[in-house]
Amino acid sequence: MAVLLIAEHNNKELRPFTLNAATAASQIDSEVHAVIIGHDTAEVAKQLSELPVVKKILNVEAAYYENFTAENFAPVIVKLAENYSHIVCSANTFGKNLMPRIAALLDTSQVSDIIKVISSDTFLRPIYAGNAFATIKSNDAKKCVTIRPTSFDPCESTGGSASIEKVDASEEFSKTKFIKREEIKSDRPELGTARIVVSGGRGMQSGDNFKLITEIADKLGAAIGASRAAVDAGYISNDHQVGQTGKVVVPDLYIAIGISGAIQHLAGMKESKVIVAINKDGEAPIFSVADYGLEADLFEAIPQFMEELNKLNTIQK
């Protein structure tokens, strides 16, 4: 039986991690169908049909699907699940909110946040904030799997021509009402997919001082991250948090500034290809994962860092 991928989108375009989830789905089984549930999603359905790994699109539309409420989405997918062996989506806040609701209704034990497909029933997933990896085999007839998007490459996004089939909506769940979404818009690359991430921690001492991080990020074309301590202290908004309960990032370069390196923060960044740590405490645990460590006062080091970057003739973007 085929794999059903749940597409994540904003009713206008696909969210980028749908492509990573599609790759994982195609590693489970070559027959991947995708369901897109939303409001006015004809354009997104078309975009989805162009992914070469997706063989068929199921499109479900209703006004009450506009805000991705799990209580509305789950019954639709449960109904479709009859024809599929696996249900797959990203383990970001969209998938984390939705998939367990589906799994419980299907009476199946979900496999969360996998980083590798070993076979169609066996997966690798991090536990204990990535301090151990568990190989898990699912014995349920239907498998609900969420995938860690940064552990899978995005699939090709053009060249496919899957058919788009309309599917009837389920009844509205009226006990949950969407009120508002406050998205922080920025011209910078998205944290989850950026090639370079510059992160600040409690050592930044104030929200104002995060300007120093911003300057470097602008210079490098980087996304801005933060430790939980910095978000808790109100220096920066929650969408920047990197860690066990925030975002997991795997950039080519991760620069941790004024971050001590609590276990839960390391969980979100230690797979980065190159890690730089700037911290005045030479014993800080962040140095244990850093390829390049600089023991220095960040308020002296950051201006010098800008100066040195300015001296370079070219910077890769």
Q: How far is the CB of 271 from other proteins (least distance, A)?
A: 9
Under rule CB under 8 A, residue 244 binds other proteins: yes
* Element housing 4 (H / E): strand 2-6
- One of 97, 120, 193, 214 touching other proteins (CB under 8 A): 97
Q: Name the one range near other proteins by CB under 8 A: 43-51, 155-163, 201-209, 283-291.
A: 283-291
Nearer to other proteins (CB atom), residue 153 or residue 232 = 232
**Residue 94 within binding range of other proteins, rule CB under 8 A:** yes
Cβ(166)–Cβ(59) below 8 Å: yes
Shortest reach from residue 164's CB to other proteins, in Å: 26
Which among 47-55, 161-169, 204-212, 270-278 is the span making contact with other proteins, rule CB under 8 A? 270-278
Q: Which of 83, 131, 163, 206 binds other proteins (CB under 8 A)?
A: 131
E strands, 32-121, where? 32-38, 54-61, 84-90, 111-114, 116-119
Minimum CB distance to other proteins, residue 64 (Å): 13
Task: Establish if 233 lies at the interface with other proteins (CB under 8 A).
Answer: no
Nearest to 196 by CA among 214, 223, 218: 223
Q: Tokens 């199946």 correspond to what residue?
A: 108
Which stretch, 29-37, 49-57, 162-170, 295-303, contacts other proteins (CB under 8 A)?
295-303
Q: Which is nearer to other proteins, 62 or 104 (CB)?
A: 104
Which of 139, 158, 208, 283 is in the footprint of other proteins by CB under 8 A? Answer: 139
Question: Does 112 contact other proteins by CB under 8 A?
Answer: yes
Quickly count: other Cβ atoms within 10 Å of residue 233's Cβ. Answer: 16
Nearest to 106 by CA among 77, 63, 64, 139: 77
- In the beta sheet, which residues pair with residue 257? 200, 278
Burial class (CB in 10 A: 0-12, 13-18, 19+), 105: middle
The whole-angstrom separation of Cα 113 and Cα 19 is 16
- The closest alpha carbon to 173, from 44, 6, 37, belongs to 37
Total interface residues for other proteins by CB under 8 A = 91
Hey, which residues between 23 and 62 contact other proteins (CB under 8 A)?
none
Query: Which residue, 57 or 287, has its beta carbon nearer to other proteins?
Result: 287
Instruction: Choose which of 228, 250, 257, 269 interacts with other proteins (CB under 8 A).
Output: 228
167 neighbors 60 (Cβ within 8 angstroms): yes
Three-class SS state of 74: helix
Stretch that binds other proteins, among 29-37, 197-205, 207-215, 271-279 (CB under 8 A): 271-279
Q: Does 63 bind other proteins (CB under 8 A)?
A: no
Nearest-CA neighbor of 91 among 69, 115, 73? Answer: 115
Q: Does 187 bind other proteins (CB under 8 A)?
A: no
For other proteins, give the closer residue by CB, 18 or 264. 264
